[in-house]
Amino acid sequence: MQISFFSPRRARITSACVPPLVLSVFGAFLATPAAEASSVAVVYFSQYDNVAPEALAALQREHPERIDARSGASLAAPGLVGLVARWSAAALRTEPRPIVVRDPYDADYRVCLARVEEERETQARPPLAERTRAAAQAVREADRIVLAVPNWGYTLPAGVRRFLEENASAFAGKTVAPIVVHGTGGLAGTIDALRADLPGVRVLDALSLTREEVRGARETVEHYVERSVAGKSGPSAP
């Protein structure tokens, strides 16, 4: 077999000198990215994905100034948490998977906030939409998970808590890297709620981003997920 090396990692094989089966196996080995040795998933919850499309269209038509209002979550596609999830997934070469409730939230910020507060006070766990199955499947197949969420009412959204509780066994023994987008509340009780719903799971130190910071934070997000879940050592919390 004649092999001429042109880099430390790859070799060019003279096909005339190697049996086809050997070429096939060797070629498949070279084509496999090293990052696939550890499977990763990106799941997220965004208000944008949890508002009925017709309500969003009505808001855009009647009150376009509220679509990207600074006083609440942005409803400009794909939403601030959705943007963070897309950047994370692109850096990790995977697809972001949304967590979506069956009963959409109102597009009006004040109405949505009232429901969020009621869900927090009653410890509600709203049913999840069918499309959330993809997020659950991604968690089952991964050993490291980026979880991008907003701080809603100083804790995790009720839909996220439902997702965590339903899929606790799929998270067991794995690593979670949280990214939290918030107004002025910081992390508040989001990480405490995450640990309460997933006891025994390794939860890394969270990346905290204000709404105002998000659009300029792509490099920060990419650095965080690459360091935390892409094979490089990241900061961990007890």
Rounded to whole angstroms, the Cα distance separating 27 from 47 reads: 44
Residue 165 has pLDDT above 70, yes or no: yes
- Which residue, chain included where needed, has tokens 């990106």? 42
Please give the pLDDT value at position 79: 83
Domain coordinates in residue numbering, the chain: 1-32, 37-229
- 174 Cα distance to chain centroid: 15
pLDDT in tens, 108-162: 888 888 999 999 999 999 999 999 999 999 999 999 999 999 999 999 999 999 9
CATH class for domain 37-229?
alpha beta
Please give the pLDDT value at position 61: 57
Query: In percent, how much of the chain has pLDDT > 90?
Result: 61
pLDDT in tens, 171-191: 999 999 999 999 889 999 999
Please give the pLDDT value at position 230: 79
Q: Which is more confident, 193 or 13?
A: 193
Q: What's the predicted TM-score (pTM) here?
A: 0.77
Within 10 A of 110 (CB to CB), how many other CB atoms are there?
A: 9
Query: In percent, how much of the chain has pLDDT > 70?
Result: 70
Integer Rg of the chain from CA: 21
